[in-house]
Structure 1
Amino acid sequence: MSELVFYTNPQSRGRIVHWMMEEVGQPYRTVWLNFGPEMKSAEYRAVNPMGKVPALRHGDVVVTEAAAICAYLADAFPDTGLAPPPGDPLRGTWLRWLFFGAGPLEQAVTARALGWQVPPGRERMAGFGSYDDTLNALEIALRPGPFICGERFSAADVYIGSSLAWGLMFGTIEKRPVFADYVKRLGGRTAAQRADRLNEERLKAQPAG
């Protein structure tokens, strides 16, 4: 089996993928990269020309972008059940919300955090339309529960759950009860707790500054 090599930093979106790696349960090697020269080095840019994390190398395959890595891993290891297989009616729901998290949700939350507002009447030019519409759509999807695909936990929950947890912690996402309950439920997963512990241990071990 080809080696899984995971490039990350404990203060990055790599934490999303780290949780996914633990859910998959396959052996992997973690390459911790510091922000700045190390992440922008020619050596790492050969992996990801953007010079950012996360990234995954699986044999000869390189995947970047957290949502894409989550989708890749779910399909690469189907026995985990982290992705509905092609032909399963839930596959469309899974793809919809995984990419909703990487698209409208990411854009809406980032715009709000930066204090950027879509000018009135120009919502069609923004992929997320508006912050309120984005959160309302996600709340409707999560309300039936317990997961984004109903009774089935999947890679989409790793991505959406991570995004909501981060947003609730830093105040960039409204603390709606549906969101808080969902994040709490996901936080009880052993893989999520294990990934958090690995990242916190790395933060404590790395030099200050």
Structure 2
Amino acid sequence: MIRLHHVPQSRSMRTLWLLHELAIDFEVVEWPFDKRLRSPEFLALNPAGRVPALELDGRAIWETGAITEVLCERFPATGMGRAPGDPERIDWLIWVHFAETLSQHIAALTQQHIALREDHMRSPVVMSLEAKRAEKCLAAVDARLEGRDYLLDGGFSAADVSVGQAVYMARHFVRIEGFPALGAWYARISARPGFIASLPVEDSQRLYTRDYYAPWPVEGAR
């Protein structure tokens, strides 16, 4: 039994997308983005009180990078991973975990624009710095994709899923039009059925209610 504990439009979307790409049977338990993630029930699955948590073979696994490695090792025939000894193994690991580098900046922007509900709580300096740091991450991805269809020469993999999901979140705060290689790659991977299946359904509680949050206080945070 494989069961994913998921909040729409969060890092757990990365695992949900990967599960669809692996074409395996799994269940999804959807949680709201609120204090219920601090409940004893959820903390028994992920002591950090964050998603994702993945139940697999009677135990819970947390941290998206770890989950990605475990799933790709468990289901190697899909080609989503790169096994030890594979010439692309190091690059695969770099990009799978680079997704978190970008995600940490998006998490800070999400906090500033969405989680902090009063203007006096927000910091224009933090917003500006984190947006610039996210742009630098996008520039690194764009440079890697120059002349490539995917992050690895061997083809689409969980590295594209991991970074692609982080870019999906980043697009709520940073424009990607200035990164042509990244833009073409993102259009390619976001057309995949697995990506589409990982998007929030119409009746889901969405973390992001806008497609784009302009730099505050130019337009306002909400």
Query: What is the root-mean-square deviation in Å for CA atoms of aligned residues?
Result: 2.6
1:181 maps onto 2:184 in alignment: yes
Confirm or deny: 8 A CA contact 2:142 2:180 kept in the other structure: no
Alpha-carbon displacement from aligned partner over 1:2-58 (angstroms, at most 9, x marks no partner): x11110111322211111110111111111112334322111111111112111010
Match of 1:70 in 2: 68
**3-state SS of the aligned residue for 1:7?**
strand
Q: Give distance in 1, aligned partners of 2:13 and 2:109.
A: 22
Q: Give distance in 1, aligned partners of 2:51 and 2:58.
A: 18
Q: TM-score, normalised by structure 2?
A: 0.75
Match of 1:8 in 2: 6
Q: TM-score, normalised by structure 1?
A: 0.79
Confirm or deny: 8 A CA contact 1:144 1:150 kept in the other structure: no
Which of 94, 103, 107 is the matching residue for 1:106?
Answer: 103
Q: Give distance in 1, aligned partners of 2:39 and 2:202.
A: 25
Confirm or deny: 8 A CA contact 2:7 2:31 kept in the other structure: yes
**3-state SS of the aligned residue for 1:200?**
coil
Q: Give distance in 1, aligned partners of 2:29 and 2:109.
A: 32
Match of 1:125 in 2: none
1:171 maps onto 2:173 in alignment: yes
Which of 149, 157, 167 is the matching residue for 1:146?
Answer: 149
Match of 1:126 in 2: none
Counterparts in 2 of 1:8-27, with a 5 A limit?
Answer: 8-27=6-25
Match of 1:60 in 2: 58
- Tell me the number of residue pairs that the alignment of Structure 1 and Structure 2 aligns: 190
**Percent pairwise identity:** 28
Q: Give distance in 1, aligned partners of 2:92 and 2:139.
A: 18
Match of 2:126 in 1: 116
Structure 1 runs not aligned, ≥5 long:
120-129, 205-209
CA 1:131 to 1:32, structure 2 compared with 1: closer, same or farther past 3 Å? closer
Counterparts in 2 of 1:38-49, with a 5 A limit?
Answer: 38-49=36-47
Give, in angstroms, the shift of residue 100 of structure 1: 1.6
Q: Give distance in 2, aligned partners of 1:25 and 1:117.
A: 38
Confirm or deny: 8 A CA contact 1:83 1:155 kept in the other structure: yes
